[in-house]
Amino acid sequence: MTVKHRAAIDELVSYTPGRTPTGGRPQVKLSSNEMPYGPLPHVVRALAEAGTTLNRYPDFHRIELTAALARRHDVDPAQVVVDNGSGALLQVLASVIAGPGDEILYAWRAFESYPIVTTVAGAASVRVPLDDGYAHDLPAMADAVTDRTRMVIVCNPNNPTGTVVSAADLEHLLDAVPDDVLVVLDEAYHDFVTDPRSADGLDLVRRRPNIAVLRTFSKAYGLAGLRVGYCVTRPETAALIRKSIVGFSVSTLAQAGALASLTPEAGVELKERVAHVIAERTRVADHLTALGVRIVPSQANFIFMPMPDGPARAAAFEERGVILRAYGTDGLRMTVGTAEENDLFLRIAADVLPRG
């Protein structure tokens, strides 16, 4: 006997996280797009200090962190909303913006939470296939906008393929979207982008009335275990989000860790770590290409390899101590790790990955 519920939930495919090491044998986890390094020392000290206050509730309004993010991005604090990860903000946005009879439009394949938040909001998904280069097909997305469209999501860089949309191409899509339809720019991997053509959502927020930018401390900042992300948008849209988020959802530790990550002291080492990931991304990509393995050029902290038998290849890697993420018949994704972890991946890749 199951309690009465919305039938659409039965059709949901649950989010599948990257596998974590299990059993007694050592395994390298390159499946979840995490930063390969622990929190910065400056952040660890801030967390230890904040730990002495855990008998008190966290700041409900995240005032100090919101103000710091507003200064960082040169926006009004009224434009910033902090919550329990950018995924939580996406869930709130979908529920606030769309409902039964409405549509949420996004590229596919992209972040697996998009169909989930759409269905939970009661809206219908409109999936636009990626183009031949595994990037957003923005003209096709523009053509898919209807009078039922309430929200458009652009993942930039796209997860799991690592491709970006150019500023010029995104402007064309925005011109086709009515000003009262929200365009969400999911920029979780923005810190790893080196392509100067890539769009920057914060620039668009200042010029367009219907943009919401999502960013996170889980990736480049190495705070995935704390769960803290933020949205930058127009004050009116931010007010809608604040009305709908769960109270006290950002813990004292999460706020302290994120705030410490924004200091100049932390910023210097953070840039060095990001630069290392970018350099390793290039090295791994070049090595795979030299092996004859087909890859998608990436602007994120991972590399996608199209192949029809990703699960079987992932199983072969796991047998030899490296956990990757398979996407059915679409392909295989590896997260860029430390140099040593990447070397192990490449040694196995030479034996088990297909060529061409």
CA distance 344 to 341: 5
Q: Work out the percent of the chain whose per-residue pLDDT is above 70.
A: 98
* Side chain identity at residue 40, one-letter code: L
Q: How large is the average pLDDT for residues 141-164?
A: 98
pLDDT value, residue 23: 64
pLDDT value, residue 83: 97
pLDDT value, residue 24: 62
CATH number 3.40.640.10 is the correct assignment for the domain at 41-263: yes
Residue 296: what are its φ and ψ, rounded to 5°? -105, 120
Residues of each domain in the chain carrying CATH 3.90.1150.10: 18-33+265-352
Tell whether the model's pLDDT for residue 9 goes beyond 90.
Answer: no
Structure tokens at 218: 């889980």
Tell whether the model's pLDDT for residue 86 goes beyond 80.
Answer: yes
Tell whether the model's pLDDT for residue 287 goes beyond 70.
Answer: yes
**Are 302 and 192 spatial neighbours (Cβ–Cβ below 8 Å)?**
no
Tell whether the model's pLDDT for residue 113 goes beyond 90.
Answer: yes
Q: How large is the average pLDDT for residues 130-149?
A: 98
Identify the residue with better confidence: 21 or 138.
138
pLDDT value, residue 142: 97
In terms of DSSP bridges, do strands 211-216 and 182-186 run parallel, antiparallel, or are they unpaired? parallel
CA distance 26 to 136: 37
Average pLDDT of the chain, as a whole number: 95
| CA 105 remoteness from chain centre | 17
pLDDT value, residue 211: 98
The b/e string for 285-298 (b: 16+ C-beta within 10 A; e otherwise) is bebbeeeebebbbb
pLDDT value, residue 356: 72
Q: pLDDT band at residue 10, thresholds of 50, 70 and 90? A: confident
Q: pLDDT band at residue 84, thresholds of 50, 70 and 90? A: very high
pLDDT value, residue 15: 67
Half-sphere exposure of 23 (CA within 13 A, CB side): 9
**Are 345 and 314 spatial neighbours (Cβ–Cβ below 8 Å)?**
no
pLDDT value, residue 158: 98
Structure tokens at 129: 């296939």
Tell whether the model's pLDDT for residue 32 goes beyond 70.
Answer: yes
| CA 119 remoteness from chain centre | 19
**Are 310 and 332 spatial neighbours (Cβ–Cβ below 8 Å)?**
yes
Tell whether the model's pLDDT for residue 326 goes beyond 90.
Answer: yes
Q: How large is the average pLDDT for residues 246-275?
A: 94
Residue in 132, 134, 114, 36 with CA at minimum distance from that of residue 332:
134
For domain 18-33+265-352, the CATH class is alpha beta
User: At what angle are helices 235-244 and 86-97 packed, to 10 degrees?
Assistant: 100
Half-sphere exposure of 219 (CA within 13 A, CB side): 28
**Are 295 and 160 spatial neighbours (Cβ–Cβ below 8 Å)?**
no
Tell whether the model's pLDDT for residue 121 goes beyond 90.
Answer: yes
Order of strands, sheet of 103-108, starting from the edge strand that comes earlier in the sequence:
80-83, 229-233, 211-216, 182-186, 149-155, 103-108, 124-129
* Long-range contacts of residues 304-307, Cβ cutoff 8 Å, at least 24 apart: 304/134, 304/160, 304/161, 304/162, 304/331, 304/332, 304/333, 305/331, 305/332, 305/333, 305/334, 305/353, 306/134, 306/330, 306/331, 307/331, 307/332, 307/353, 307/354
pLDDT value, residue 11: 75
Q: pLDDT band at residue 258, thresholds of 50, 70 and 90? A: very high
pLDDT value, residue 355: 86
CA distance 236 to 31: 37
pLDDT value, residue 19: 67
Of 25-34, 164-173, 178-187, the least confident: 25-34
Residues of each domain in the chain carrying CATH 3.40.640.10: 41-263
Tell whether the model's pLDDT for residue 16 goes beyond 80.
Answer: no
Q: pLDDT band at residue 97, thresholds of 50, 70 and 90? A: very high
Identify the residue with better confidence: 12 or 115.
115
